[in-house]
Amino acid sequence: MRVLIDADGCPVVDITVAVAKEFDIKCIILCDTSHVFDKAGSDTITVSKGSDSVDFALVNMLEKGDIVITQDYGLAAMCLARGAKPMNQNGMVYDDNNIEALLLARHTARKIRNAGGRLKGNAKRTAAQDTLFKEKLKEMLTATF
């Protein structure tokens, strides 16, 4: 088992790397060429810039049981199909019970934006969200062992 991070725009890279190191689990950061990551205790894979290039690279290297940190519902769905355990930056674990509703919400939001509509953005990230994420990641890693 490894922890893979879809790092483009991910606010919990440092937390994830620290927790993986604490559990002595290999951590891999994936990003495109518009980002630079050099975190002790992890490996970084940088792929060409392009639509979903990081997502496809990550899915192609997945192994069953890997934990994936991502905000992307489409990537989470692909990870589930490959037997991985995806979770988001707030500690929500994606599973077969919630992924379809999340994908539908994403599709609906895209339709609204394409029609010229505007949606409210995310609120500023809080320390409480970071704490919750860290706790949930530790729970997931503890349950795996």
Over 70: is that where the pLDDT of 29 sits? yes
| pLDDT tens string 89-130 | 999 999 988 878 677 776 666 776 777 777 776 778 899 999
* pTM for the predicted model, two decimal places: 0.85
The CATH class of 3-144 is: alpha beta
Over 70: is that where the pLDDT of 141 sits? yes
Q: What is the mean pLDDT of residues 26-44?
A: 89
Q: Which residues contact 74 (CB under 8 A, 6 or more apart)?
A: 52, 55, 103, 106
| pLDDT tens string 45-94 | 999 887 788 999 999 999 999 999 998 888 999 999 999 999 999 999 99
Q: What is the pLDDT of residue 108?
A: 65
